[in-house]
Structure 1
């Protein structure tokens, strides 16, 4: 679908620019006086801002001019050096800390009212007894329904300082009653682990969506639980994972590598290198590992894939990764904003740089690389990738690997039926599936109260009538007529998976989507001792 194509590079670019970084903390040995001594270049910018502030004929918001100036400077550097405004920094920091302060609900505005899709596990709303389907109509005696209330206004009303309280009035449709809840705002976890379950009696599966401060602890807990269930093999799914903190990726790679194995090394502007080696603390050094990647696996995801591939540990499955081998450090700018500046490059154990080519100041071409891969046929045929001998490296066991633009998998899995995927992805990104399922469940939630999660996953069948209702729902919103004939079975799967998510949680969702996932099925095939 043409409508969807324009979203892919935009979303990818925004996510990479705002959320992909391999970070540390500012740790210069120079004093601030030495770092920021006055010079003519800085004087020039300062003087221009002063002239505009004091002499320009109209009132001008010089803060916005400074923001434009900073962005303009960074636009002439590499694509991953980015500016984070004061308004954006809190949200970015929360996302990478793995938690935020709030009441812990996922909601959408249904007929001008805040409707709870589900409560977040471990959050205040779950502990208080708020249920999916509840409508929040008042917060601290203020009504929060009606067309004038936007999502950001609702979020601002429900979030607040830690340990502060908010009084909610809730309408529960299931029992036709109004309820009062007094909640104490608290830390709400932002999960890095989307799912962790057993694919086969010996093969565990963990899907990681980011590398935040809390990710390693979450990963260790998930891995330990799967090992207790009998996992001697692991599928580590890093698809669409744009990265995060370097230290977290190093710790996770250490779980699979024997003591003394090189994980990566970095090189800065001065040519100084820093090598990171595995320790003896790894808990999965003897197990078989399958790392699943795609064209949106970037940064810290590539650190893990590259470390394991170069050490002849496990099997990389999927499609060539994004290709980000630059290291950023976040630096405060003194007014609540910050800049993430590229300070070094990282290299895999064999010495590969997997950073794909870029031209300073030409970020648009860089972020439209997806189109290039699509047009060359790479997403359906790995043989179309240009692999010059100058980028060839060899692992200790003699396997040939390549640098110069991402991690090339050991086992390639093509993108199936691109047109269908883009159409279905568009429908999903717009929130149509989630909203439709909420309304469908809301008609009679008691129907599902006695269905166990396992029974739902294994035996529940989405009716053709429900699929037809979904198609009518989309056509009414889009004011057009999609031809859904070729998508009928996929839509059944999408609806069932989303129903499982809203009824039971993310694990159930991924267990259903995994049944028709080509990459997961390939890993199951490989784990059984087969090979292509």
Structure 2
């Protein structure tokens, strides 16, 4: 039992991220009207549901029966064909759309009061002067505090129709009177580019967390700014990126490939192939590109890595990617729910499929991270098993393999210190957010007045802060052993503090300061 505990926490990260892989990739689709023609199998299922509805002796919720039936059907297909219930469909669609309509704040409920963590960049609240630490007491005279409302209920009070107005009554520490803000609800971006900044004088860094509708636009804006700052090389961080819209990944690849180069092809059940080639002048076709991947980089992330690798373009760095080579299409079911169904496989330019096997069932498929962890693949490139029958050769003569993920050109192992990895998992889990917020609340006016330069030049997290965090973790029944890892804890506390004050860009900048793969990219960039 003791040995199991040693690996339990680090493995959770892989399992949680695996759930995100279900996002999948999408292609354009024109619905075939003949698809829904009647047949005896469908009529049989419909008749059974009608019998239960009208004849069964007890009252039965047939909606739940249908949901169970749909899920059981999809479970027998492949791990990425999934059902999206009506109550989840709106939030799933919103996360991939790239924006939402609202007032634009991240918040948490503290003592039954909405407390703003940070106004979102580019949102209505930022523009009118709402700040971190503000308490939103009323929305259009509707009391929001002391009501034991769920987060969903609170969000519904703040969201609304685009361009509609909401009057917020706000308490701000240090001020005697309440503040009134008239906010016009607008589109608030859900950023898929977490960070974009210069790692060195020549090397620009861009981290993408998923491929949503606005990803390429965000990427282009980041690329333009990095070029302005002198970037002649780009490090594209796709670690822990589960995928998303295929078109966004293709557009990003096109920025780095000459016209007419193959990016991927798809093949459906009838064997029909659809090939995609680079088709326009990119801004970095003659510049060095590094792509960072790990065991949770999937789908559209793997398309990018595979396209570069098979065109002998750039360098792929990190660990073998997830291994998802299936293309999904999202189809509505008429009642607000939808199904995301696998309709094709995609292949890299050399013709290799990177889809790992799912013949042993969904549980084994999603637990593949555990298998990789145990067989040593995450700590040694020599432990990566390859199938010689799935060997391919790039135009430049490099050997690459299909059959499950993209194997990087340069391997960087995970940290094998289990205790440190367990602690890192806890620090990355979002657990720090409330503690850091409480620290900022001790002197909110001071922290809100800091510029990034001032913040970066001060030691705002010291040994006393670490001890406060230890006590806080103990009060939440979270076991943390930090005696040997104070620098790690300080870095994460500082990074989360920077995130709440300035945003994800600054968080990533601080986390990357002691990142093995980023260090390897910098080393390679200097020698190229």
**Structure 2-normalised TM-score?**
0.96
Measure, in 2, the Cα distance between the counterparts of 1:383 and 1:10: 24
Instruction: Tell me the equivalent position of 2:60.
Output: 60
How far did 1:377 drift? 0.8
How far did 1:457 drift? 2.5
Instruction: Tell me the equivalent position of 1:100.
Output: 100
Measure, in 2, the Cα distance between the counterparts of 1:200 and 1:69: 54
Instruction: Tell me the equivalent position of 1:331.
Output: 331
Instruction: Tell me the equivalent position of 2:508.
Output: 510
Instruction: Tell me the equivalent position of 1:475.
Output: 474
Q: Gapped runs of 5+ residues in structure 2?
A: none
Instruction: Tell me the equivalent position of 1:125.
Output: 125
How far did 1:25 drift? 3.7
Q: Gapped runs of 5+ residues in structure 1?
A: none
User: Which has the larger displacement, 262-271 or 482-491?
Assistant: 482-491
SS in 1 for 2:385: coil
Asked if residue 528 in structure 1 is aligned to residue 511 in structure 2, the reply is no
Measure, in 1, the Cα distance between the counterparts of 2:476 and 2:437: 16
Provide Cα deviations, 1:63-93, integer angstroms capped at 9, x if missing partner. Answer: 1111111111000001011111121111111
Asked if residue 257 in structure 1 is aligned to residue 230 in structure 2, the reply is no
Measure, in 2, the Cα distance between the counterparts of 1:186 and 1:452: 27
Change (3 A) 1:418 1:309: farther
Change (3 A) 1:235 1:418: farther
How far did 1:337 drift? 1.3
SS in 2 for 1:177: coil
Within 5 Å, which residues of 2 pair with 1:438-517? 438-478=437-477, 482-517=480-515
Instruction: Tell me if the contact between 2:84 and 2:337 (Cα under 8 Å) persists in the aligned partners.
Output: yes
How far did 1:236 drift? 0.2
Instruction: Tell me if the contact between 1:249 and 1:300 (Cα under 8 Å) persists in the aligned partners.
Output: yes
Measure, in 1, the Cα distance between the counterparts of 2:52 and 2:18: 33
Instruction: Tell me the equivalent position of 1:111.
Output: 111
Instruction: Tell me the equivalent position of 2:47.
Output: 47
Instruction: Tell me the equivalent position of 1:24.
Output: 27
Instruction: Tell me the equivalent position of 1:155.
Output: 155
Instruction: Tell me if the contact between 2:89 and 2:336 (Cα under 8 Å) persists in the aligned partners.
Output: yes
Provide Cα deviations, 1:456-506, integer angstroms capped at 9, x if missing partner. Answer: 23553521001110111111111x653321221110000111111112222
User: Which has the larger displacement, 204-213 or 84-93?
Assistant: 84-93
Within 5 Å, which residues of 2 pair with 1:201-280? 201-280=201-280
SS in 1 for 2:492: helix
Instruction: Tell me if the contact between 1:26 and 1:330 (Cα under 8 Å) persists in the aligned partners.
Output: no
Measure, in 1, the Cα distance between the counterparts of 2:63 and 2:374: 42
Within 5 Å, which residues of 2 pair with 1:394-413? 394-413=393-412
Instruction: Tell me the equivalent position of 1:84.
Output: 84
SS in 1 for 2:188: strand
SS in 2 for 1:401: strand
Change (3 A) 1:387 1:10: closer
Change (3 A) 1:176 1:393: farther
Measure, in 2, the Cα distance between the counterparts of 1:427 and 1:462: 15
Change (3 A) 1:358 1:218: same
Q: How many equivalent pairs are there?
A: 522
Measure, in 1, the Cα distance between the counterparts of 2:365 and 2:237: 25
**Structure 1-normalised TM-score?**
0.95
Measure, in 1, the Cα distance between the counterparts of 2:210 and 2:479: 37
SS in 1 for 2:527: coil
Change (3 A) 1:254 1:490: same
Measure, in 2, the Cα distance between the counterparts of 1:499 and 1:335: 43
User: Which has the larger displacement, 366-375 or 414-423?
Assistant: 414-423
Measure, in 2, the Cα distance between the counterparts of 1:57 and 1:106: 49
Provide Cα deviations, 1:123-147, integer angstroms capped at 9, x if missing partner. Answer: 1111121110001122222222236
- 1:15 is aligned, of 20, 38, 46, to 20
Measure, in 2, the Cα distance between the counterparts of 1:511 and 1:458: 14
Provide Cα deviations, 1:84-123, integer angstroms capped at 9, x if missing partner. Answer: 1121111111111100111111111122211100000111
Measure, in 2, the Cα distance between the counterparts of 1:481 and 1:271: 53
SS in 1 for 2:487: helix
Measure, in 2, the Cα distance between the counterparts of 1:327 and 1:208: 20
User: Which has the larger displacement, 167-176 or 183-192?
Assistant: 167-176
Instruction: Tell me if the contact between 1:12 and 1:367 (Cα under 8 Å) persists in the aligned partners.
Output: no
How far did 1:352 drift? 0.8
Instruction: Tell me the equivalent position of 1:4.
Output: 9
Change (3 A) 1:128 1:499: same
How far did 1:512 drift? 0.9
Instruction: Tell me if the contact between 2:210 and 2:243 (Cα under 8 Å) persists in the aligned partners.
Output: yes
Instruction: Tell me if the contact between 2:262 and 2:275 (Cα under 8 Å) persists in the aligned partners.
Output: yes
Measure, in 2, the Cα distance between the counterparts of 1:123 and 1:350: 44
Measure, in 2, the Cα distance between the counterparts of 1:452 and 1:481: 34
User: Which has the larger displacement, 214-223 or 508-517?
Assistant: 508-517
Measure, in 2, the Cα distance between the counterparts of 1:227 and 1:144: 46
Instruction: Tell me if the contact between 1:26 and 1:331 (Cα under 8 Å) persists in the aligned partners.
Output: no
Within 5 Å, which residues of 2 pair with 1:302-341? 302-341=302-341
How far did 1:218 drift? 0.6
How far did 1:176 drift? 4.1
Change (3 A) 1:451 1:105: closer
How far did 1:279 drift? 1.6
Instruction: Tell me the equivalent position of 1:365.
Output: 364
SS in 1 for 2:291: strand
Asked if residue 437 in structure 1 is aligned to residue 433 in structure 2, the reply is no
